[in-house]
Every structure is written in C-alpha cells, then in structure tokens.
Structure 1
Amino acid sequence: MGNIHVKDRRRKCSNHQNNITLFRPTDQEPILSDTDGRLLTEVWSRLKDDIHKVGVITFVSLFETHPEVHDAFMSFRAINTSELEYNAILRQHALRVMGTVDKCITRLDNREKLRELMAELGIRHKNYSVKIEFIDLMGPQFISSIKPHLHHIWTEEHERAWENLFRLMCYHMKKGMCSIQD
C-alpha cells in the first residue's frame, strides 16, 4: 500500500493556499550536456530570424491547450484565442520570452548567469501571481511550435536537448518562485 507514515520532505511552494505544487529546490539541478548545448545553438541559429513568430505560435498553442493559462493573463484575458496572434501585448510578451530563451542559449557556457536570470524571472512571475504549475507548460508548447519548421533536420536528440534546456530553465525559475514567501 505504501508508506503513508513517511513524511514528505518536499517544500510546498505555491501562490495559492488551495493549489499546492510540491517542488524541492534542493533536488539536483537538471543536466544539460555539451552535446545538448551544441544542438541547441545549431537549431537556435536557424530559428533566430523567426523568433517573434515562434513565440506567438507557442503562446496561442499554450492558450488553446491550457485555457486556464490564458485566463491568468490580465492584459488579454477578454480576447478570444483565435484573435490573440494579432494582439500587440501578446506579441511583445512572446518576444520577451523568446529573448529569454536566446539569453539562456548564449549563457550555456556561464551557467551561473543562466541560473540568476531564471531565478530572477521566477521571482517576477511569483510577484505577478503566476501559478508555479504553469511554468512547466511552456517547454512542450515551444518544442511543438519549432518542430514543424525543422522537420528536415529534427531528431530525437534535438527534442531531448530542448526538453533538457526547458527543464533547467523551469527548475531555476521555480527555485526563484520558492525563494520568496507568500
């Protein structure tokens, strides 16, 4: 049946009392290999000119698959998802997110800067009352947005590299969110 008497030592980290996500800031940092870094840099150089499009596609996709995330954005909560790709505020936010991905890729050789960037971003998102469980949703949406543009070179290794990058980014972002008290 399991050991129900064993105490869960994970830190409860959440923005809302009724919605608790368990996250252990003491867990080992996700691994991103040198090979992952090389693959990410290679793919990113191909995508860089179209990052504004990728960002918008990522967010529209995210809102279609997870409407609760759309509702969390005060700036365009009332706008229909099908009209969002033309919304200037969404376009600006999407470009900022893609800029963050770019910064993370350029900081692969300086992991401390990457950690600081993502932890600070986590703190800002906590201050905006973003639910910690939303953080992990961005990576899969981003990957499914870029795959069609790269079908001629895309491999399982590319997919794994992007998954590893987003795991690392999300880990430090959530760590930042957990660093400040509710």
Structure 2
Amino acid sequence: MKTLIVFVACLVCAAASDCGPLQRLKVKSQWEKVYGGSAEIREKFGSEVWIHVFLHDPKVKELFTRVRGDNVNSHEFKAHANRVFGGIDICVSLLNDPDTLNAELTHLHDQHDQRGIPHEYFDVFRHSLLQTMASHVEHFDQDAWKACFDVIKNGIAEGLTE
C-alpha cells in the first residue's frame, strides 16, 4: 500500500506542471515572508488560518477534540498548529526535491489516514491558507500557490476517506 501511495504522489508531482520551477520559487519566497519570522509571528499566522478554517466549516472542529480545537488559544491547539505548519514548511522547502517531498507526503498521509481525517477537509484548509496568505503578502500569486499547494495537499489527502 505504501508503494502505491508513493507512486500516486510521484504522479501528482509529475502532473502538477503548473507548479514549475518559477512557481516553486515564488511560493518559497512568499512562504518565507509569512512564515520565516519569529515564533510569535508564525503562531499568530497559524491561528489566523485555523480561525478561518473553523469559521468556514465549523464541523472541522470535531476532528480536533484531542488538541482542544474548541479553543485556538489553548496550549494544546497551539502546539498542534505548530506541528501542522512545521509540516507545511518542510513540504514547501522540498518542492524542488520530489523524491524527498514524496517521502514526507507519504509520512503525512499515513498520519492523517490513521486519524481518519476525511479528504474533503484538505480543500477547506487550502482555501483558508490561501486566503490568509493573500492578506499577508503583497502581490500574492494565487495561481502559483494553488498549483504548488495542490501538490502537497493531494500528496497527503489522496486515498483518504471521502
């Protein structure tokens, strides 16, 4: 099964031709502007994204009872948000290294599969991430982000329950 997931992740990367070298560079640069600052800035950004997620689809909170999704200011949820955005940071940095990116995506897929996270919520998260990014980055490149984040999103979410 793991081999199949890695194969699908490779196909996803290959099919994401809109996430070419220039788009990857733009995504990395814009991510650095938002996420490359202090821990306080990263934490604030993460909270903004999750607040947007929960406002956009309140049912998502039900997936985060273990980490106090009812309170984005709780220590448990802040720690979870830091782990999520740490994973995104790794994936963004690996956009130019497909083999290592696919290994990371397989790892993240397995974690989400074990927790029963439905595929549909990755679209909600993507929407909230891009909306929040756009409010922080001048001349935000929505097309580059959609294409490149879809490589990450699909690599994690492919094959999860609907």
TM range (shorter): 0.7 to 0.9
Match of 1:142 among 120, 124, 129: 129
Structure 1: distance between partners of 2:105 and 2:160: 10
Is 1:60 the counterpart of 2:51? The answer is: yes
Q: 2:63–2:117: 8 Å Cα contact kept in structure 1?
A: yes
1:176 CA displacement: 6.0
Q: 1:118–1:176: 8 Å Cα contact kept in structure 2?
A: no
Bigger helix share: 2
1:132 CA displacement: 1.6
Match of 1:106 among 88, 93, 109: 93
1:30 CA displacement: 2.4
Q: 1:52–1:98: 8 Å Cα contact kept in structure 2?
A: no
Question: 1:41 aligns to what?
Answer: 28
Q: Which 4+ stretches in 1 moved above 4 angstroms?
A: 25-28
Percent of aligned positions that are identical: 17
Structure 2: distance between partners of 1:143 and 1:172: 18
Is 1:154 the counterpart of 2:139? The answer is: yes
Question: 2:5 aligns to what?
Answer: none
Larger Rg: 1
Question: 1:29 aligns to what?
Answer: 15
Q: 1:52–1:95: 8 Å Cα contact kept in structure 2?
A: yes
Amino acid aligned to 2:58: P
1:35 CA displacement: 1.1
Q: 1:52–1:91: 8 Å Cα contact kept in structure 2?
A: yes
Q: 1:72–1:130: 8 Å Cα contact kept in structure 2?
A: yes
Q: 2:109–2:156: 8 Å Cα contact kept in structure 1?
A: yes
Amino acid aligned to 2:108: L
Bigger strand share: 1
Structure 2: distance between partners of 1:99 and 1:165: 17
TM-score, structure 2 length as denominator? 0.80
Give the root-mean-square deviation of aligned CA atoms. Answer: 2.0
Aligned length in residues: 145
1:165 CA displacement: 1.9
Task: Map 1:75-114; keep pairs closer than 5 Å.
Answer: 75=66, 76=68, 79=70, 84-114=71-101
Question: 1:165 aligns to what?
Answer: 148
Residues 118 and 175 of structure 1, relative CA distance in 2, 3 Å threshold: same
Find the residue that maps to 2:96 and give its secondary structure: coil
Amino acid aligned to 2:73: Y
Structure 2: distance between partners of 1:57 and 1:131: 22
